[in-house]
Amino acid sequence: MPYDWFAAERLALEQHRLLQAAAERRRRLGAQLQEARVRRELERTLSRAMKALPREELQALVGRTLRATG
C-alpha cells in the first residue's frame, strides 16, 4: 500500500509541474501577442501621422523624440 501512495504522489506532482509549464507557455504567448498588437497599432498610428503631418513638422517631431529617448 505505501508504494501505491508514493506512486500516486509522484504522479500528482508531475501533473502539477506539467500544468505549471503549460500555464507559463500560455503567459509567454499572451505577452508576445500583446506586444505584437501594440507594435502593429504603433506602426498604423505612425503611418497615419506621417501622411497627415507636413514633412518639416514630422522631422522636428522625430528629432525631439530621438533626443528625449536617448
Question: What are the residue boundaries of the structural domains of the chain, listed by start?
Answer: 2-69
The answer to whether residues 61 and 53 touch, using CB atoms and an 8 Å cutoff, is: yes
pTM: 0.58
Q: Cell numbers of 46, please?
A: 505612425
Segment 28-56, tens digit of pLDDT: 999 999 999 999 998 999 888 888 888 88
